[in-house]
Amino acid sequence: MSVRENTEVTPKFDLKKQLFAEFTGTAALLCTVIGSGIMAERLSGGNLGVALIANTLATVFALFVLIEILAPISGAHFNPLVTLVVYFKNRSNNTISIVITAYIAILFIAFQLLGAIAGAWLANVMFELPVLQFSTHVRGGQGQWLAEAVATAGLITVILRSGTAHVKAKTSTLVASYIGAAYWFTASTSFANPAAVLGRMFSDSFAGIAPVSTLGFVVAQALGAVIGTLINQYLNDATD
């Protein structure tokens, strides 16, 4: 997510490789979320608390690794809302180092969405489930929509704050830790990513979301992204 602050070598903007990184990273992320959800559900004997702890650990570890190894190439967005925030941020100033044009942003988002589906399918194949399936896990209601807005506002705030000069810690650690907390403190287990919504639609498991529930989640996430951007602007005026 977002961009490596300490990148000493200017990345070459080889678009093909950036798209490969966004596709592969988002696929790996979704495969982790869904695969660990399936494994956790199978092993935890009906104790969903145990299952969500396992799901949390796997997601935190994977996010940390994926951001570390792919951020130097593409910025490791893996999330259409992050790409949009970076795009609009780029238009107003230059604090984020990988420049993204409207054309690139659209391609990033397309490859994230394709990657999310590929990741879900890979999990399905590995666990010998039907490749094409749809979740029957209905999620929604005012509480969960609020939760998605909160989760996404927090995610965007964490990503943008971690790009400031004051924070020495890595974006990778902050984003992974944030999601580790948000899985538990939000009523929706914090999807916070339209690509994650799309991918998880294709898994009828612990981590899935029914197609009928996707629109509400994505709208709430978009609102959250706007709120997160505004919070960050307010805070940055104070400290930069």
Q: How many residues bind its own copies (CB under 8 A)?
A: 93
Is residue 130 a contact point for its own copies (CB under 8 A)? no
Q: Measured from the CB atom, is 91 or 131 closer to its own copies?
A: 131
How far, in Å, CA of 133 to CA of 64, rounded? 29
Is residue 69 a contact point for its own copies (CB under 8 A)? yes
Residues numbered 135 to 164 that lie near its own copies (CB under 8 A) are 141-144, 146-147, 150, 154, 157-158, 161-162, 164
Residues numbered 19 to 38 that lie near its own copies (CB under 8 A) are 20-21, 24, 28, 31-36
Q: Measured from the CB atom, is 91 or 104 closer to its own copies?
A: 104
How far, in Å, CA of 183 to CA of 191, rounded? 8
Residues numbered 36 to 65 that lie near its own copies (CB under 8 A) are 36, 39-40, 43-62, 64-65
Is residue 88 a contact point for its own copies (CB under 8 A)? no
Is residue 125 a contact point for its own copies (CB under 8 A)? yes
Q: How many residues does the chain have?
A: 240
Is residue 68 classed exposed, middle or buried when 0-12, 13-18 and 19+ CB atoms within 10 A define those classes? middle
Q: Measured from the CB atom, is 3 or 91 closer to its own copies?
A: 3
**Buried residues in 168-188 as b, exposed as e (16+ CB within 10 A):** eebbbebbbebbbebbeebbb
Cα-based distances in Å from 166 to 20, 162, 236:
31, 8, 11
Residues numbered 197 to 236 that lie near its own copies (CB under 8 A) are 231, 234-235
Round to the nearest angstrom and report the end-to-end CA distance of the chain: 21
